Amino acid sequence: MRVLGIESSCDETAAAVVENGDRLLSTMLASSAAIHAQYGGVVPEVAAREHTMAILPVVKGVLAQAHLAMQDIDAVAVTEGPGLLGALLVGVTFGKALALGLNIPIVGVHHLEAHLYANALVEPLRFPALGLLVSGGHTTLVLWEDHGQLKVLGETRDDAAGEAFDKGARALGLCYPGGPEIERLASSVPQTALSLPVAHLGSQTLDFSFSGVKTATVELARREPHRKAEIAKALQIAVVTALARNVGRALDQYPAHDLYLAGGVTANQCLRERMQQIALEKGVAVHFPPRQYCTDNAAMVASLGYYKLIKGVRLPYNASPRVNYPLGT
Ligand code: KG4
Ligand code: ZN
């Protein structure tokens, strides 16, 4: 089954064609990140307008790249939420119109669950597993028992890990998105004498909190304007330490043999190395998506869409985007 995936939840208009959930035939993306960069963050109305202009060329482009015609697509999968309403509307409406016109099924997928499926493009998924989703808007730890069976074990109570990087970067005068900039700057120094706080919410919870480290970074950047690289390194260490601590605790508590990472922050090398170390200590296998599929893309949407489609899940034609879409529902 050839599934056309469509992603438009934030600032990336993406399309991809994936066969049977794991064989990527083509993928394409148009990003409006450069436009948002001048405002220091995503402007929802601008993102929605850019999606409307990009979606048709991106979908046509991805089909051309795979040497396919519209009629060669068996089904459509679209990000249903969570995300920005105006942005999601473009993808969902376009997907529904296309499916209706071609008389093929359409399925809606959860954006964060889809991030985990970037791993399915590399090798078959193995369950039960632990999943760590770290993006610009979410930091969520899940017990992933099977396709469609996710239980949230912990999530951020305030800012997401990616947000801490983005806001920290802004305080250091770096561009948006801040994560890659923080990583680049952090690797320009071998070590840092500075330290930033790692929130500890107690032994009863696997939740995270990143607002403290974000505020402390802004404060430190003001006090030590000439130690930017050291601050970036301290921020990276604090965020990675917080993520690693809860992953280690979850692996002690739950029967998972595999650890899957997903989301934009997973591109970070320091995070990858730390997770490899924990996986080794706990005797589990750790999996990362290829870097280009860590951030938003439509291949992950098409992959998850396939697994939902074969179970008979469909998106009703009168469905609206789900701006707030709890994971595991
Ligand atoms: O998953 P994603 O592309 O979009 C969301 O759904 O949010 O994640 C974007 C986030 C941004 O906060 C960005 O700064 C962060 O991922 N990010 C990174 C790196 N690359 C992207 N954070 C740390 N290190 C990186 N190399
Ligand atoms: Zn994302």
Q: Is residue 284 part of a domain?
A: yes
pLDDT of residue 42: 85
- Tell me what pLDDT residue 175 has: 86
Together in a domain, 31 and 164:
no
Judge if 187 and 109 occupy the same domain: no
| 73, two tokens | 């697509």
Residue 295 C-alpha to ligand 2 middle, in angstroms? Answer: 6
CA of 269 to the centre of ligand 2 (A): 18
- b/e code 48-63 from CB counts within 10 Å (16+ = b): bbbbbebbeebbebbb
As for how many domains the chain has, the answer is: 2
264 and 299 part of one domain:
no
Looking at the structure, tell me whether residues 61 and 105 fall in a common domain: yes
Same domain, 237 and 267: yes
Q: Are 95 and 105 in contact (CB under 8 A)?
A: no
State residue 176's pLDDT score. Answer: 81
Give yes or no: residues 300 and 250 share one domain. no
Q: What is the CATH number of the domain that holds 11?
A: 3.30.420.40
Let me know whether 205 and 231 are in one domain: yes
Would you say residue 243 lies in a domain? Answer: yes
Query: CA-CA distances (angstroms) from residue 101 to 76, 160, 196, 317, 328?
Result: 12, 39, 54, 12, 31
Closest ligand to C-alpha of residue 109 is: 2
Domain that holds residue 80: 2-117+293-309
Which run of H or of E encompasses 277?
Answer: helix 269-282
pLDDT of residue 41: 78
Atom of ligand 1 lying closest to residue 262 CA: 1
Kindly state the helix (H) or strand (E) to which residue 232 belongs, with its residue range: helix 228-253
Q: Which residues surround ligand 2, an ion (CB under 5 A)?
A: 135, 296
Residues 172 and 152 in one domain: yes
97 in any annotated domain: yes
Q: Which ligand is nearest to the CA of 7?
A: 2
Pocket of ligand 1 (CB under 6 A): 10, 135-137, 162, 165-166, 177-180, 183, 263-265, 267-268, 295-296
Task: Report, in angstroms and rounded to the nearest whole number, the Rg of the chain calculated over CA atoms.
Answer: 20
Are 97 and 168 contained in the same domain? no
151 backbone dihedrals φ, ψ, rounded to 5°: -125, 125
Name the residue type at position 14.
Answer: A
172 shares its domain with 302:
no
Closest atom of ligand 1 relative to the 269 alpha carbon: 26
Residue 321 lies in a domain: no
Residue 318 domain-assigned? no
Q: Which atom of ligand 1 is nearest to the CA of 165?
A: 14
Residue 315 lies in a domain: no
Are 8 and 107 contained in the same domain? yes
Q: Establish if 320 belongs to a structural domain.
A: no
Q: What is the dihedral of CA 329, 264, 297, 133, to 10 degrees?
A: -20
Distance between CA atoms of residues 241 and 229, nearest Å: 18
In a domain, 159, yes or no: yes
Q: Considering only CA atoms, which residue is closest to atom 7 of ligand 1?
A: 136
Q: Which two tokens stand for residue 315?
A: 């998106």
Residues 183 and 273 in one domain: yes
Show pLDDT as tens, one digit a residue, over the chain (329 residues): 999 999 999 999 999 999 999 999 999 999 988 888 888 778 999 999 999 999 999 999 999 999 999 999 999 999 999 999 999 999 999 999 999 999 999 999 999 999 999 999 999 999 999 999 999 889 999 999 999 999 999 999 999 999 999 999 999 999 888 999 999 999 999 999 999 999 889 999 999 999 999 999 999 999 999 999 999 999 999 999 999 999 999 999 998 999 999 999 999 999 999 999 999 999 999 999 999 899 999 999 999 999 999 999 999 999 999 999 999 87
Most ligand 1 atoms within 8 A of CB, residue of 172, 295, 300 to mutate? 295
